[in-house]
Amino acid sequence: MIICDLCGETKACLQREIEGKEYDICQMCWIPIAEKLKGKGRPVTNREMVFLPQPAAPKQEEIGPLPGGPPKIWSAARKH
């Protein structure tokens, strides 16, 4: 048994979150609040499943020269 935050009586209360704060509200106090809130909030929309594209395979880096093998030489011609 918990004390209701609205009526102050000791009853079986449930924790309800309203505007980011938690309250202990009994069923008798919750019914009028629920009727006032009915129809407010976000409209219920038909949700669709969205498929995302497959992630691209990571690019494999070039493997450097193996130990004991000849080194790879990079060069470029410069034009002035």
Task: Evaluate whether residue 71 is within a structural domain.
Answer: no
Task: Evaluate whether residue 45 is within a structural domain.
Answer: no
- Give dist(CA 6, CA 18) in Å, integer: 13
Task: Evaluate whether residue 24 is within a structural domain.
Answer: yes
User: Which residues 6+ apart lie within 8 Å of 11 measured at CB?
Assistant: 1, 2, 4, 26, 27, 28
pLDDT at 14: 85
How many separate domains does the chain show? 1
Task: Evaluate whether residue 17 is within a structural domain.
Answer: yes
Contact yes or no for 4/16 (Cβ under 8 A): no
Task: Evaluate whether residue 56 is within a structural domain.
Answer: no
Task: Evaluate whether residue 13 is within a structural domain.
Answer: yes
Task: Evaluate whether residue 55 is within a structural domain.
Answer: no
- Host domain of residue 8: 2-37
DSSP conformational letter for 58: P
pLDDT tens, residue order, the chain (80 aa): 788 888 888 888 888 888 888 889 898 888 888 888 787 777 777 888 889 888 887 776 666 666 777 777 777 777 76
